[in-house]
């Protein structure tokens, strides 16, 4: 499969530089993304699953260059995003969109929904008339279930619920038919009853428009529903990756097994089950160990060697890898 975006050994450390650490009192460094490598193919939907604090949002922000990495590369169409010139960056901004986890961050509270959603058109499709823009905005809002669109277009973000704002953000990201969308927990503020429907619409739109997708979530059920492939993220690292059916039916990494075993049986009253990984035990606030497997303190299978070195990715099936010494 042709690669749309490639992430190569990406790292992001927050906090004072090492040389300033001692002088800065208690503050420590947090390695939010700790050497992540993967790719997303053309027309492919990849889900990335991890608990809160595992570095998912940081990874997404790095990939759209809202943040600069400590090291590593992100390549779009073969070009390193962090080395792009102005013209290349304009093309990148048009083709790669991020749906932010909190739509408060992306919708200007002083602008109407129409003004926010039509902004990309003002930049990239200047030739359109006001009427054409209104039609496009209305069509996209309605495709996300905000009907009739006229009822929403002239409101301010503050007059909408969190879930409605999230749907506005999705509609806006889809507007320019980008080649690649990173959606960071895009339905987390929606009522459970609406989540499956919105995920369905996003999936349909991405299939029809040929848009590749990186779907970020803490919920393995929705990751399974959305993704052709699945990446399991734990403390800034991918610990397992493979085709969705392989990872969910034949999980290899002990962490993936915990995630899957703790998914509740679907409740027909609610339509689908959505597990919050944080309820599945374990805290994301444990100190980051500097050597060895980062899952060791929670692993039932921990061995001596697990504490000595970080496990590399081992082949555990067809296009299926797990970073665990049980397999190497």
Ligand X SMILES: Nc1ncnc2c1ncn2[C@@H]1O[C@H](COP(=O)(O)OP(=O)(O)O)[C@@H](O)[C@H]1O
Sheet-wide strand order for 314-317: 96-99, 180-184, 212-217, 45-49, 229-234, 237-243, 320-322, 314-317
Give contact residues for ligand X (rule: CB under 6 A). Answer: 14, 30, 32, 50, 52-58
**302 contributes a contact to ligand SF4 by CB under 6 A:** yes
- 3-class DSSP assignment, residue 64: coil
Q: Which is nearer to ligand SF4, 176 or 296 (CB)?
A: 296
Find the residue with minimal CB distance to Mg ion: 57
CB of 302 to ligand SF4, least distance (A): 4
**Residue pair 227/244 in contact by the 8 Å Cβ criterion:** yes
CB of 57 to Mg ion, least distance (A): 3
Interface with ligand SF4 (CB under 6 A), residue from 42, 299, 313, 317: 299
Here's the x/- map for ligand SF4, 227-266, by CB under 6 A: it reads as ---------------------------x------------
Q: Which is nearer to ligand SF4, 218 or 253 (CB)?
A: 253
Closest-CA residue to 172 (of 94, 124, 118): 118
**100 contributes a contact to ligand SF4 by CB under 6 A:** no
Interface with ligand SF4 (CB under 6 A), residue from 60, 72, 236, 311: 311
Sign of the alpha-carbon torsion through 103, 107, 109, 114: negative
Pairing of strands 180-184, 212-217: parallel
**Residue pair 174/205 in contact by the 8 Å Cβ criterion:** yes
Give contact residues for Mg ion (rule: CB under 5 A). Answer: 56-57, 101
Q: Which is nearer to ligand SF4, 203 or 257 (CB)?
A: 257
**325 contributes a contact to ligand SF4 by CB under 6 A:** yes
CB of 17 to ligand X, least distance (A): 13
Closest-CA residue to 56 (of 166, 174, 186, 177): 186
CB of 144 to ligand X, least distance (A): 23
CB of 80 to ligand X, least distance (A): 22
**293 contributes a contact to ligand SF4 by CB under 6 A:** yes
- CA 81, distance to chain mean position in Å, is 18
Q: What would the two tokens of residue 281 be?
A: 């035990």
Q: Which stretch binds ligand SF4 (CB under 6 A): 23-31, 68-76, 150-158, 290-298?
A: 290-298
Q: Which is nearer to ligand SF4, 68 or 304 (CB)?
A: 304
Alpha-carbon distances of 189 from 211, 226, 279, rounded to whole Å: 23, 18, 17
Closest-CA residue to 179 (of 66, 19, 29, 42): 42
The secondary structure of 273-317 as a DSSP string is ----GGGGS--TTSPPPSSS-TTGGG-TT--GGGGTS----EEEE
Task: Find which of Mg ion, ligand SF4, ligand X, none residue 32 binds, CB within 5 to 8 Å per kind.
Answer: ligand X
CB of 219 to ligand SF4, least distance (A): 22
Pairing of strands 79-80, 30-41: unpaired
Site of interaction with ligand SF4 (CB under 6 A): 254, 293, 295-296, 299, 301-303, 306, 311, 324-326
């Amino acid at each position: 499969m042709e690669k749309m975006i490639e992430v190569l050994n990406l790292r992001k450390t927050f906090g004072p530089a090492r040389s300033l650490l001692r002088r800065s009192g208690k503050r420590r460094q947090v390695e939010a993304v700790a050497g992540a490598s993967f790719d997303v193919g053309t027309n492919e939907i990849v889900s990335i699953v991890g608990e809160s604090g595992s570095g998912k949002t940081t990874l997404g922000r790095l990939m759209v260059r809202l943040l600069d990495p400590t090291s590593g590369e992100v390549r779009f169409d073969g070009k390193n995003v962090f080395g792009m010139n102005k013209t290349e960056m304009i093309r990148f901004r048009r083709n790669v969109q991020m749906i932010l986890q909190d739509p408060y961050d992306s919708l200007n509270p002083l602008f109407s929904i129409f003004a926010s959603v039509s902004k990309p058109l003002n930049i990239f499709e200047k030739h359109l008339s006001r009427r054409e823009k209104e039609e496009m905005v209305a069509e996209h809002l309605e495709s996300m279930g905000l009907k009739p669109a006229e009822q929403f277009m002239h409101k301010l973000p503050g007059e909408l619920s969190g879930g409605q704002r999230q749907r506005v953000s999705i509609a806006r990201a889809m507007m320019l038919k980008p080649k690649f969308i990173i959606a960071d927990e895009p339905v987390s503020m929606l009522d459970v009853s609406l989540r499956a429907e919105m995920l369905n619409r996003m999936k349909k739109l991405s299939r029809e428009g040929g848009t590749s997708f990186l779907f970020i979530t803490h919920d393995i059920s929705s990751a399974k529903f959305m993704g052709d492939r699945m990446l399991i993220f734990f403390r800034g690292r991918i610990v397992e990756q493979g085709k969705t059916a392989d990872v969910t039916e034949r999980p290899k990494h002990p962490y993936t097994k915990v995630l899957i075993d703790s998914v509740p049986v679907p409740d027909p009253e609610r339509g689908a089950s959505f597990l919050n990984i944080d309820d599945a035990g374990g805290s994301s606030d444990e100190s980051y160990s500097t050597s060895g497997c980062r899952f060791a303190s929670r692993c039932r299978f921990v061995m001596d060697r697990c504490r000595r070195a970080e496990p590399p990715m081992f082949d555990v099936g067809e296009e299926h890898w797990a970073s665990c010494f049980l397999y190497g």
